[in-house]
Amino acid sequence: MRSLATASDAGSEMPYIDLDAYLGEGGGARGRIIAAAARLFRERGYQQVTMQDVAGAIGLSKAGLYHHCPSKDLILADIVGLCGQILTRQLQTASEAEGTPLGRLQRFVVTRMETIAQYQDFFTIVYQERPYLGTSTFGSIAKSAEVYRAGVRDLIEDCKACGQLRADIDAHLMMLAIDGMTGWAYVWFRDDGTQNPTRIGESFWSFLMNGVHPVEPLVAGRDRPRRNSE
C-alpha cells in the first residue's frame, strides 16, 4: 500500500470515493465494484482475490473492470476511506440530534450497532487486513479512530455534566465498552434476516443503562431505574 500512503502523506487530493457518491444510485459502476470486491476480500482475504475474480463477480470483463478501477489497492483504499466516512457521519448524526445528551448517547449506541451490521464486509476487511494496510495507512486510520473515540467520550462527558450518567463513570472505559459490544458484531453478525441490529443495539443500551441486577425496568416517562422493594 505504498502508493496509498504516499498520496496521503503528500497531502494530495484524497483518492477515496466520497460516501455520498457511493450511496447515490448504488454508487454507479465503481460502487458496485467496491461492494462485490468487499464481499470477496472478506471471505477469501484480500491477497487471495484477483482482479479477474472481482470482474467475474459483477459480470465485467477484466478490461471493463480496469476501465473503472485501475488497481486492486485502489479498491481497498476506497473501502478504508468509506469506513472512516461512515463512522464519522454516524457519530456526527448522533451528536447533533435533538433532545438530551442521554438521548444522543443512546442514539449513538443503537446506530453504531446498525452501522457495523450494515457495512460488515467493510469493517471486517479493515480489521483482517490491518497488517497489509501498512504502517502509514494504518496510522491514518488510527488517527481518525482517535477523533471518533474522542467524540464518543464527549457524548459521555455531556451526560455526566448534566447528571444523566453517574459522575464516577470513567468516560474512556465506557467508550471502550460501547465500542466493543457493538464493534464485535463484525465477527458474529449474521446477515440472513434472523437478527435485528436495532433491537440488539437497544438491548445493549438497556444493559448499560439499567444494569442487569434485579431492578424493575425503566418506566416510560421516568429516567431512573426503580428498585424492587427488598
| Residues in touch with a copy of itself (CB under 8 A) | 42-45, 47-48, 127-128, 130-132, 163-170, 173-174, 176-177, 179-185, 187-188, 200, 203-204, 207-215, 217, 223-227, 230
CB atoms within 10 A of CB 123: 24
Q: How far is the CB of 12 from a copy of itself (least distance, A)?
A: 27
Angle, helices 197-210 vs 101-118, to 10°: value is 140
* Between 66 and 127, CB nearer to a copy of itself: 127
Q: How far is the CB of 155 from a copy of itself (least distance, A)?
A: 12
Tell me how far apart the alpha carbons of residues 66 and 158 are, in angstroms, rounded to a whole number.
49
* Between 12 and 194, CB nearer to a copy of itself: 194
Q: How far is the CB of 30 from a copy of itself (least distance, A)?
A: 24
* Between 12 and 229, CB nearer to a copy of itself: 229
Q: How far is the CB of 61 from a copy of itself (least distance, A)?
A: 26
- The grid cell for 174 is 465506557
Tell me how far apart the alpha carbons of residues 133 and 4 are, in angstroms, rounded to a whole number.
9
* Between 65 and 174, CB nearer to a copy of itself: 174
* Between 4 and 181, CB nearer to a copy of itself: 181
Q: How far is the CB of 31 from a copy of itself (least distance, A)?
A: 23
* Between 10 and 167, CB nearer to a copy of itself: 167
CA 163, distance to chain mean position in Å, is 29
115, 90 Cβ separation under 8 angstroms = yes
For the chain, how many residues are written?
Answer: 230
Tell me how far apart the alpha carbons of residues 192 and 5 are, in angstroms, rounded to a whole number.
36
211 backbone dihedrals φ, ψ, rounded to 5°: 75, 165
Angle, helices 72-95 vs 120-128, to 10°: value is 120
CA 20, distance to chain mean position in Å, is 16
Q: How far is the CB of 213 from a copy of itself (least distance, A)?
A: 6
Tell me how far apart the alpha carbons of residues 137 and 5 are, in angstroms, rounded to a whole number.
5
